[in-house]
């Protein structure tokens, strides 16, 4: 449906390609974070940092093309909002990896954290599908609902962690802060993906 409202030049196609690349990179980073929480391999931290840098370049490319005049003017603010929400989600993945690298993940909350990372990865995959469907002019309500269901599961797991967090020993103030920052970023990802899916849905509704 986005293509129906484009003006036919190559800028829009280039922007959509860069947006898809941005989403693909986010999904790869989410997969790497899920693997990091399972294996603890420090190489995955650097991989996530590299993916975030590539994602930031893709974001800048999208916004540059839009600012150069791609898409009809009334579409640009919502498209930019969608791109920025995806980028904020990317930042939470990078920060989750950074703080995970500074803490020993305690067994009392490890399973919940790994399940959250898995749900986050699934939400990103669904968002990519929703984007592809939106570009083709198809209904994305099913994907938006699926993302909301997974976001609710993340919220439930966050509640479970909050009940157990007092069992986690910390060496000092800073380790406690790193735990807090890690958990905040890990659980904020799902909120941002839900917001991004809502923004995409608003775009599709405005086309009808």
User: In this predicted model, what pLDDT tens digit does every residue of 141-181 receive, in sequence order?
Assistant: 999 999 999 999 999 999 999 999 988 999 999 999 999 99
Which residue matches tokens 């406690």? 176
Q: Which CATH class is domain 3-206?
A: mainly alpha
pTM value? 0.92
Distances (CA, A) of 189 to 51, 52, 111, 166, 176: 16, 14, 18, 23, 21
What the block records as the tokens of 32 is 């790497």
How would residue 5 be classed by pLDDT, with cut points 50, 70 and 90? very low
What span, in angstroms and rounded, lies between the C-alpha atoms of 206 and 71? 14
Banded model confidence at residue 192, pLDDT cuts 50, 70, 90:
very high
| HSE-CB of 77 using CA atoms within 13 angstroms | 3
Q: What is the mean pLDDT of residues 198-204?
A: 91
What's the CA gap between 131 and 191, in Å, rounded?
17
d(CA 163, CA 154): 14
Q: Which of 16-30, 65-79, 86-100, 190-204 has the lowest mean pLDDT?
A: 65-79
Least reliable range by pLDDT among 1-5, 71-75, 201-205: 1-5
């Amino acid at each position: 449906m986005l293509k129906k409202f484009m003006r036919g030049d190559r800028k829009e196609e280039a922007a959509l390609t860069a947006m898809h690349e941005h989403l693909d990179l986010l999904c790869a980073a989410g997969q790497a974070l899920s693997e990091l929480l399972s294996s603890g391999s420090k190489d995955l931290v650097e991989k996530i940092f590299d993916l975030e840098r590539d994602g930031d370049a893709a974001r800048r490319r999208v916004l540059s093309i839009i600012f150069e005049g791609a898409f009809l003017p009334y579409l640009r603010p919502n498209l930019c909002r969608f791109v920025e929400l995806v980028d904020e989600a990317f930042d939470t993945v990078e920060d989750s990896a950074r703080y995970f690298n500074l803490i020993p993940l305690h067994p009392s909350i490890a399973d919940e954290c790994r399940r959250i990372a898995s749900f986050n990865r699934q939400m990103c995959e669904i968002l990519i599908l929703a984007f592809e469907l939106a570009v083709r002019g198809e209904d994305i309500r099913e994907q938006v609902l699926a993302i909301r269901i997974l976001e609710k599961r993340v919220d439930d797991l966050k509640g479970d962690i909050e009940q157990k967090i007092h069992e986690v020993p910390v060496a000092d103030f800073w380790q406690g802060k790193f735990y807090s920052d890690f958990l905040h970023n890990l659980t904020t990802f799902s909120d941002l993906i839900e917001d991004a899916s809502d923004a995409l849905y608003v775009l599709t509704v405005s086309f009808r």
